[in-house]
Amino acid sequence: MAAFLYRIGRLSFRRRWTVALVWAAVLAAVGLAGMTAPEAEEEPFSMPGIESQEAFDLMEERFPGAAADGATARVVFVSPNGEKVTATENKKAVKAAIAELGDGTQVASTVDPYESGAVSEDGSTAYTTVTYKVDASGLTDASRSHLEESLEHARDSGLAVEAGGDAMEEMGGPSGTAEAIGMSVAAVVLLLTFGSLAAAGLPLLTALIGVGISLFAITALAGPLGLTDTTSTVAIMLGLAVGIDYALFIVSRYREERAKGRTPQEAVALATGTAGSAVVFAGLTVVIALAGLSVVGIPMLTEMGLGAAGAVVVGVLIALTLVPAFLGFWPNAVLTRKDRKARLAGGTPRETRKVNGGARWASFVLRRPLPVLLAAVAGLGALALPMTDLQLGMPGDEAMSTETSQRRAYDALAEGFGPGFNGPLTVVVDAKDADDPKAAAETVSERIGGTEGVVSVSPAQFNEAGDTAVFSVVPTTAPTDQETKDLVSSIRGDRPGVESEAGATFEVTGTTAMNIDVSEKVQSALVPYLLVVVGLAVILLLVVFRSILVPLKAAAGFLLSVLASLGAVVVVFQQGHGADLLGVETTGPIMSLMPIFLVGIVFGLAMDYEVFLVSRMREAYVHGERPAQAVTSGFQHSARVVVAAALIMIAVFSGFIGDSDAMIKMIGFGLASAVLLDAFVVRMAIVPAVLALLGERAWRLPKWLDRILPRVDVEGEALTRPTEPEAQPAEKDLTRA
């Protein structure tokens, strides 16, 4: 591996113009494809293998056209000062508003609340549903403006008027604010780390090129594959983070090799062969973790995982080819000011081995490994404790800011009609084999209506064939409450007796039931996913480090960091501690997809740091250093760069905490906290402590296993020996500036 990458780095340096032009052509090609691609149609959320999805599919089959994906806006009217919406003036204002709402060019229908019975018992609240001819992504700016203007005109009458529904959702891709914040902080960190504008700018430039290619590619494929904006956002998030980090490690090793007196071409080749090997295997672990999300069987997770994995692959390829090419254009610009001055003066910089902060920290841990290990594990364990209270769900309008109309509409409906009104259950009765379909549907309706926790049941609606009925069930509790989940379980648990009495079958669906089913599916898939991903990664690390204990230690450290980060998410987003600081208006269940998605990404990133840090220790050990000395050497060379890489990732992820999308906000916080804990507690404290306690045993591998495993030479042993005798004058320094 190292020898192959050595040749790639050397070739990229020598053929730098060709490499740069090839990447420019790739960027131009995918850019053109992305800009000319037709706009992707928004795909409806689907979840194969759960009851609520099967019921929804049955509805689409038996009620063709009725389950159209037209956007809806539920407009809520609340009378002021204790008045009634049925009062003459208020009723007149409501009807005028409904008439204006119905004048929209894309509006299919509106409903009069006074005729449909959509008025609360106390007469304070009424609502209407505006249905559009197109889905939310097909709504024009004119239609959205018309909706907003109609709401404003209705408010002029003195009524409180708010609206929810997918017609109110913000359309469009990422705003770019989070990326700008992350890039700004990354630039500062790189500048402080390298002390050179060129060295700081090169990783940023190559990361931006990689993200541009990935984003345009996703945009071009969005239509055929049905990719969402969330896929693009996650790809940008990870593409930026790993793109900067991978280039950072190559540039850092290049400067180190130049400090040893090597020529630019030889330094680039060695940096690509050694640090590049770590980049390849670190990237592979990230790709395994992300691509592994497809085994869960959730289409949305599969799309996000594969999109982000593609961005990581692009980042790895750019680090191995474009970064060496750019170093060929400016071989001395990325060096420290001291080294540049020495070269301009005609001298040769000498490698220095002064003890830095990384080496001092490693020495501290090596002197007292057990106390450090116990303190780190205890701290992470304390953070992970809230995980025992984890509740999963799919937050809706109730999780939005109170400054939004959607949230105010949600609260108004809950106050006027009860908390369960915002999350009704939909029951689909399949009476195809029943002797009397109407009697069968009535029996199911009566039995479910008598279940504890049910407020009301709507009249059954039959399809044209008369063999399938649909009715709504309003719970007494809110959609995300545990009592609502218990109600769904109770209805389904009573199904055998109800179906036997009715002579027909039924299924429960609707948004609330869908969210409950998704949560249960994710929880059941988490353990198999962990086994697959962690198992593959442990095998990969076994090949890289040729050790049994090091990969097992890496996996255990990952589990600690991911559990602690999930505990931090629970503390903020579920329990509400510090929620105000992050702009979290309402706490509640953690998004169902969050744990498994966080596990996938964090595992990949955690293995990044493991490979970068421990591969340098392995390199020192292979070259003859004692185990404790190898740990110190690894920190001497890698700690500063790993810290910089972690700070960059934390900055990139933290930028997404300010996103208005609750899912992206939660992912940003979870990833930032996970990187913080993994890099600074697990890799910087637990890893050296465990290696100190293990000593020689850490690097042992049974002989039979050693014969079976392929040799990849990540530490570059095959490269350093033949190049040691080479002195710098052998090759001419192509550029001096």
Q: What's the pLDDT at 168?
A: 78
Please check whether residue 324 is in contact with residue 272, taking contact to mean a CB–CB distance below 8 angstroms: yes
pLDDT in tens, 216-225: 888 888 766 6
Q: Which of 480, 423, 498 is nearest to 454 (CA)?
A: 423
Q: Which residues contact 339 (CB under 8 A, 6 or more apart)?
A: 255, 258, 259, 332, 349
CA distance 128 to 488: 27
Tell me which of 504-513, 677-686, 718-727 is least confident. 718-727
CA distance 147 to 329: 56
Q: φ, ψ for residue 560 (rounded to 5)?
A: -60, -45
The pLDDT of residue 488 is above 50: yes
Matching residue, tokens 């007292």: 368
Q: What is the dihedral of CA 276, 282, 286, 289, to 10 degrees?
A: 140
pLDDT in tens, 186-203: 778 878 777 777 778 888
pLDDT in tens, 252-310: 889 888 888 889 899 999 989 888 888 888 888 888 888 888 877 778 788 888 888 89
Count how many Cα atoms sit within 13 Å of the Cα of residue 636 in the half-sphere of its side chain: 15
Tell me the mean pLDDT in the region 163-176.
65
- Sign, CA dihedral 413-418-419-423, equals negative
The pLDDT of residue 730 is above 70: no
- Sign, CA dihedral 8-9-10-16, equals positive
Q: What's the pLDDT at 177?
A: 62
Tell me the mean pLDDT in the region 701-725.
68
Tell me the mean pLDDT in the region 105-132.
86
pTM here is: 0.74
Q: What's the pLDDT at 342?
A: 62
pLDDT in tens, 495-550: 999 999 989 999 998 888 888 888 888 878 888 888 887 788 788 888 878 888 88
pLDDT in tens, 443-474: 999 999 889 998 888 888 888 888 899 888 88
| Whole-number Cα distances in Å, 82 to 123, 124, 411 | 9, 7, 17
Tell me which of 49-53, 114-118, 345-349, 675-679 is least confident. 345-349
Q: Which of 292, 234, 303 is nearest to 46 (CA)?
A: 303
Q: Which residues contact 556 (CB under 8 A, 6 or more apart)?
A: none
CA distance 423 to 512: 6
Q: How many helices (H) and strands (E) does the chain have?
A: 26, 11
At residue 734, the 3 state secondary structure works out as coil
R_g of the chain, CA atoms, integer Å: 30
At residue 429, the 3 state secondary structure works out as strand
Burial of 533 (0-12, 13-18, 19+ CB in 10 A): buried
497-501 long-range contacts, CB within 8 A, separation 24+: 498/443, 498/444, 498/447, 498/448, 499/444, 501/443, 501/447
Pairing of strands 392-393, 590-591: parallel
In this prediction, residue 45 has a pLDDT band, given cuts at 50, 70 and 90, of low
Q: What's the pLDDT at 341?
A: 65
- Sign, CA dihedral 87-93-96-100, equals negative
- Sign, CA dihedral 701-702-703-708, equals negative
Greater confidence (644 vs 181) lies with 644
Encode 695-728: b = buried (16+ Cβ within 10 Å), e = exposed: eeebbebeeeeeeeeeebbbbbeebbeebeeeee
Q: What's the pLDDT at 562?
A: 85
CA distance 362 to 693: 13
